[in-house]
Amino acid sequence: MKPRTRNCHSGFDEFFISSQLFSKTCSYKRLNINQIVMEYNPREIEQNWKKWWADHQVYKVSNDSTKPKYYVLDMFPYPSGAGLHVGHPLGYIGSDIFARYKRQQGYNVLHPMGYDAFGLPAEQYAIQTGVHPAKSTAANIARYREQLDKIGFSFDWSREVQTSDPSYYKWTQWIFLQLFGHWYDTKATKARPIEELIAIFEKEGASNAKAACSEPQDFSAAQWAAMTPKEKDDVLMNYRLAYRKTTYVWWCEDLGTVLANDEVKDGVSERGGYPVERKPMLQWSLRITAYADRLLSDLDTVDFSDAMKKMQGNWIGKSQGAQMRFRIADCGLRIGEAAQEPEIEIFTTRPDTIFGATFMVIAPEHDLVKQITTPAQSNEIADYLAYVNTRSERDRMSETKEVSGAFTGAFALNPFNGEKIPIWIAEYVLKDYGTGAIMAVPADDERDMRFAKKFNLPIVEIIDKSMYPGATIEDKLGKMINSDFLDGMEVMDAIEEILQRIETMGIGVRKINFRLRDAIYSRQRYWGEPFPIAYDADGVAHPLPIEELPLELPELDDFKPASGAKSPLARAENWVNFQEGWRRETDTMPGFAGSSWYFLRYMDANNDTDFASQKALNYWQDVDLYVGGTEHAVGHLMYSRFWHKFLYDKGLVPTKEPYKKLLNQGMIQGKSAIMEVKTEGGNVLELYVPVSFVDENWRLPIADLPKLQVEDNRFEQVNPSTNVTVEKDKEGREFIPLLMRVEKMSKRLFNVVNPDEMVERYGADCFRMYEMFLGPIEQAKPWDTKGINGVSGFLRKLWMLFFDENNGKPLVNDAEPTKEEWKILHTCIKKVTDDIERFSFNTCVSSFMICVNELRSANCSKRAILDELVRLLSPFAPFTAEELWHQLGHETTVCEAPYPKLNEAYLVQDSIPYPVSINGKKRDLVELPAGLSVPELEKAALELDKVQKWLEGQTVKKIIVVPGRMINIVV
């Protein structure tokens, strides 16, 4: 394009009414005036329309609308100090396109954004620098907002939420108190107020209460009445949905806090990668396990990917089996010491294999260990327990093939044949799962087999799988052998038979077990929601009155954990000891607290009297489309589904599930540039080179080395003449070749690409479309700026349909489009609409390119065509579309302009190109009139010269004709 005068309007009003730049020559009347020179200048367009949209509150959404609702939600970000990189907006762009598309289709679209603003990094930063987390968080949020605004999202910012804002966490605390004040009725399968449980206790005691609880309770109404308030409180804690209990938790010394299961990966903390250990601590937990079954079965009702459902299903880990008790053989040992005869209770999914149970294993932490260990074995057991104690989680995970254990000296009795079964303890049995004890069947379980082999324990074959070749040990297939009354039965029948016998004998019950654990809800941190809980002198937990919410975080200037695994809040003594004899809870809530319900707050974000009004909740219902990364599969998504179900039980939300459809965007990876430097010791050192220094052939020009060395002293050791490889190109320029590695985009790896730079250089619309063009949104892919020119060129070509390439004069005219031109447009409408519906945004961009290329070849600048094209494009390139929309003479925003309607009539073809194949191999292509009958098509195909040639000496066996598609001749 040739240089030409710039159109420098800086705002809508100025632009339309009295632009001084233009008013000298003419009063601006858009396309009617030919003198105006219009060059595609995305930066100016963006500035103007950003302001105009804000001034006109284009994206403000009303809760009061007769339009159907549609709720498009992004997972809100944690505002980190590093700012956004090009990977973050991928999902936001996809959801924004969809939101805009739905808006144009006439929906009232809720499309909000906010910040998950409590969290560890801000606090770590505060410990290091003394900057208050609130301050650094606010600065990070400001930065995020600035970056987001540049990309042209259609968020309704009047609904922004920040989880660290007291007006928000007031309601997080409120929901917590609701959880605290409820128990789960397993018969009615719903949460009920704790008062109703107390009423049951008063009337009939605990024996008949069907409730989810930590420890099964058994007491009469009279016993309940006799309890002290503290004792009652202890009992109720077993039932509350938010409860306090001493549990083995993941303790992370370096972070100074406990972590939830999903915050621990591979035996180290997910954040920071620090070691973690199992430690018994008194902690708040949420009884998510009460909802395990519903969380699993309701997966059928939502539109998540199968992979996602599977992941959640695995995490919940439902298994059916039997829980049964084994008597312990009286060896005249310590059994007399116990109040009742000790029994060992196990869980098994395979009760049918009981005759193959040649030993029992209980977890080292199991309560029975002390009781049943014989004097002869006590040293051995003590040694083993000491060994287990030295083992970190990491050790335990890294050598799962290695078995270890010790014999307690005690024996259990097989209830069916009275045989004595030795009882061992071993690491591989977990205290937390099932009953923490198993019957080991080495013949039918790989782990038990390894254990039996190592300790020379007997192995009794109990299933004959010979008639099922290829069946694995896990398959419930085969015929029972060596199993007394089960002999000859199929496994599935044997399971049923033995279950009945177990129940008849009263030694056990059918039982469903879940892998899912209750969620540890306490964190020994400062930067989180304070618990609205205070303890009286007896240590009974009391909820704060609702009127006192929010309980705000006290000011602190030292954020380090207090001594003895205490939260930093313990330092705020006046705050903690707020009232004589009372102490506030000093732990704070975990990161997932605020994010478990934020999507509800957006519906009515500024409500002071409720977390959201019932009117708003009933209008918006649930999230229609939720876009975010898979990494939240077992954390956030599970917790928020759980909270939502609880609120549903309370009648506070209208739907059982919060998210109808989940779209998981893939990660955009970075390409790291690695320089290999030989060290003096002869080793090779890998240095990450900032990507800004890397040329298109993935090399570092030697000429740039000094600059790099100034910026980054790691490179001072690099010497081109000694310790790195150097290549020369044709012109004799020297380069250091670099390795390329595709990995996570991260500051640490110097491979971060900043969206601001992309927007600055190519414009927001180009950036948006290029991110989409990169590939399927759900797929992980490396960022590569190279291809962006293609999209940039497309937008310019689009512009040139409106303005002359050489002199910038407007080209739009009112001529009647030809049939061919309509077809070009409507082909595009069809393809783009279909593809948006299936979230295939990359192919949408291709379709736009094809459309614009074809309109250009047709020299078409007809208003009727362009008007629709602009509307079609506006979800993808909102700035450019808005500008062109107004250039076409419209006064209102293109965001509200109706989405183009497909007219299939324009797509009807007069003639169809038919590929003609012989034996499935394409041999010719022939253009035939549409509407020919099958015999006519056959005849036409056979008459083709090329076909004649190929058919020479062959007999035609069959002709397959798919009208409108293809013709295949079989010879």
Partner RNA sequence: GCCGAAGUGGCGGAAUGGUAGACGCGCUGGAUUCAAAAUCCAGUGUAGGCAACUACGUGUGGGUUCGAGUCCCACCUUCGGUACCA
What part of residues 81-110 is at the interface with RNA (CB under 7 A)?
none
Can you name the residues that pair with 348 across neighbouring β-strands? 322
Residue 769 burial (CB count, 10 A):
30
Q: Map residues 512-531 to x or -, x wherever contact with RNA holds by CB under 7 A.
A: -x-x----------------
| Residues in 732-791 that interact with RNA by CB under 7 A | 773-776, 779-781, 784, 786-787, 789-791
Does position 730 interact with RNA (CB under 7 A)? The reply is no
Contacting residue, 794, 799, 879, 885, with RNA by CB under 7 A = 794
**352 near RNA, rule: CB under 7 A:** no
* 606 interacts with RNA by CB under 7 A: no
Q: Which residues, numbered 663-722, are part of the site for RNA (CB under 7 A)?
A: none
Q: Which is nearer to RNA, 224 or 315 (CB)?
A: 315
At 939 the three-state DSSP class reads: helix
Distance CA 382, CA 387 (A): 9
How near is the Cβ of 805 to RNA at its closest, in Å? 7
776 vs 486: CA distance, rounded Å: 54
Touching RNA, residues 230-259 (CB under 7 A): none
Q: Do 484 and 356 contact (CB within 8 A), yes or no?
A: no
**Cβ neighbours around 158 below 10 Å, total:** 12
Tokens in use for 463? Answer: 């299933």
971 token code pair: 């010879």
Q: How many residues does the chain have?
A: 971
Please, which of residues 377-396 interact with RNA by CB under 7 A? 396
Return the beta strands (E) in 216-276 as ranges.
242-252, 257-259, 264-265, 268-269
Stretch in the footprint of RNA (CB under 7 A) among 424-432, 684-692, 716-724, 882-890:
424-432
Q: CB of 232: closest distance to RNA in angstroms? A: 32
Q: Is 413:327 a contact under the CB 8 Å cutoff?
A: yes
Q: Secondary structure of 678-725 in the HEC alphabet?
A: ECCCCCEEEEEECHHHCCCCCEEEHHHHHHHHHHCHHHHHCCCCCCCC
Binding mask 861-900 for RNA (x = CB under 7 A): ----------------------------------------
Smallest distance from RNA to CB 457, Å = 15
Half-sphere exposure of 321 (CA within 13 A, CB side): 21
Helices 42-55, 878-887: axis angle to 10 degrees equals 80
Residue 925, C-beta contacts closer than 8 angstroms, at least 6 positions apart: 913, 914, 915, 916
Closest CA to 58 of 879, 768, 881, 896: 896
Contact 381, 373 (CB under 8 A): yes
Among 486, 700, 736, 849, binds RNA (CB under 7 A): 849
CB atoms within 10 A of CB 392: 14
Instruction: Say whether residue 48 binds RNA (CB under 7 A).
Output: no
Structure tokens at 674: 């690695």
Q: Rounded to the nearest whole angstrom, what is the least distance from the CB of residue 201 to RNA in the complex?
A: 31
Of 690 and 775, nearer to RNA (C-beta) is 775
b/e per residue 206-229 (b: at least 16 CB within 10 A): beebebbbbeebebeeeebeeeee
Q: One symbol per residue from 905 to 924: x for binding RNA (CB under 7 A), - otherwise; what is it? A: --------x-x-x-xx-xx-
Q: Could you say which residues in the range 795-814 bind RNA, by CB under 7 A?
A: 796-797, 805
| Beta strand spans in 567-681 (E) | 583-584, 625-628, 662-664, 668-678
**Which residue carries 């993808």 as its tokens?**
876
Min dist. Cβ of residue 954 to RNA (A): 13
- The single residue among 556, 842, 890, 963 that binds RNA, judged by CB under 7 A, is 842
Question: What's the rounded Cα separation, in Å, for the pair 888 and 180?
Answer: 60
Beta carbon nearer to RNA, 449 or 617: 449
Residue 942 is a binding residue for RNA (CB under 7 A):
no
630 binds RNA (CB under 7 A): yes
Question: Which of 317, 415, 654, 963 touches RNA (CB under 7 A)?
Answer: 317
The CA distance from 600 to 611, in Å, is 8
Give dist(CA 206, CA 203) in Å, integer. Answer: 9
Tell me whether residue 317 or residue 654 sits nearer to RNA (CB atom): 317
Can you tell me which of 47, 63, 167, 349 binds RNA, judged by CB under 7 A?
349
Q: What is the DSSP letter of 193?
A: E
Q: Which of 160, 262, 765, 883 binds RNA (CB under 7 A)?
A: 262
Nearer to RNA, 543 or 628 (CB): 628
Q: Which ranges in 487-605 belong to alpha helices (H)?
A: 491-505, 573-576, 592-595, 598-601
Q: Which residue stretch of 406-414, 572-580, 592-600, 962-970 sits at the interface with RNA (rule: CB under 7 A)? A: 962-970
| Cβ at position 789, least distance to RNA in Å | 5
Nearer to RNA, 539 or 915 (CB): 915
Query: 347 or 803, CB closer to RNA?
Result: 347
Q: What residues from 357 to 376 belong to the interface with RNA (CB under 7 A)?
A: 363
Q: Which stretch binds RNA (CB under 7 A): 732-740, 863-871, 884-892, 961-969?
A: 961-969
Q: What is the DSSP letter of 666?
A: P
> At CA 216, angle to CA 211 and CA 221, rounded to 5?
75
> Which of 403, 647, 772, 836 lies at the binding interface for RNA (CB under 7 A)?
403
Q: Which of residues 552-571 bind RNA (CB under 7 A)?
A: none
Q: Which residue has the tokens 């598309």?
A: 101
Tokens of 869: 């094209």
Nearer CB in complex with RNA: 406/569: 406
Q: How many residues bind RNA (CB under 7 A)?
A: 84
Question: Residue 900 carries which DSSP code?
Answer: P
Q: How far is the CB of 472 from RNA (least distance, A)?
A: 7
CB atoms within 10 A of CB 348: 25
855 sits near RNA (criterion: CB under 7 A): no
Q: How far is the CB of 777 from RNA (least distance, A)?
A: 9
Q: Is 311 in the site for RNA (CB under 7 A)?
A: yes
Question: Which 454-513 residues touch RNA, going by CB under 7 A?
Answer: 513
Question: What does the alpha-carbon distance between residue 529 and residue 508 come to, in Å, rounded to a whole number?
Answer: 43
Q: Is 307 among the residues that bind RNA (CB under 7 A)?
A: yes
List residues bridging with 190 in a β-sheet.
Answer: 185
Binding mask 192-211 for RNA (x = CB under 7 A): --------------------
Cα–Cα separations (whole angstroms), residue 889 to 103, 124, 898? 21, 54, 16
Does position 447 interact with RNA (CB under 7 A)? The reply is yes
Instruction: Out of 64, 306, 814, 910, point to the residue binding RNA (CB under 7 A).
Output: 306
List 265, 560, 733, 748, residue binding RNA (CB under 7 A): 265
* Nearest C-alpha neighbor of 780 from the set 814, 752, 743, 750: 743
Per CB under 7 A, the list member of 60, 370, 747, 965 interacting with RNA is 965
Choice from 226, 739, 925, 956 touching RNA (CB under 7 A): 925
Alpha helices (H) in 437-572, listed in sequence order: 446-455, 491-505
Q: Cβ closer to RNA: 522 or 792?
A: 792
Find the binder of RNA among 79, 94, 321, 356 (CB under 7 A).
321
846 binds RNA (CB under 7 A): yes
Rule CB under 7 A: is residue 845 a binding residue for RNA?
yes
**Which SS3 state, helix, strand or coil, does residue 79 take?**
coil
Could you say which of 47, 63, 167, 319 contacts RNA (CB under 7 A)?
319
The answer to the question of residue 927 lying near RNA (CB under 7 A) is no
Question: Nearer Cβ to RNA, position 307 or 338?
Answer: 307
Cβ-based nearer residue to RNA, 306 or 557: 306
Residue 678 CB, shortest distance to RNA, in Å, is: 26
Contact 252, 394 (CB under 8 A): no
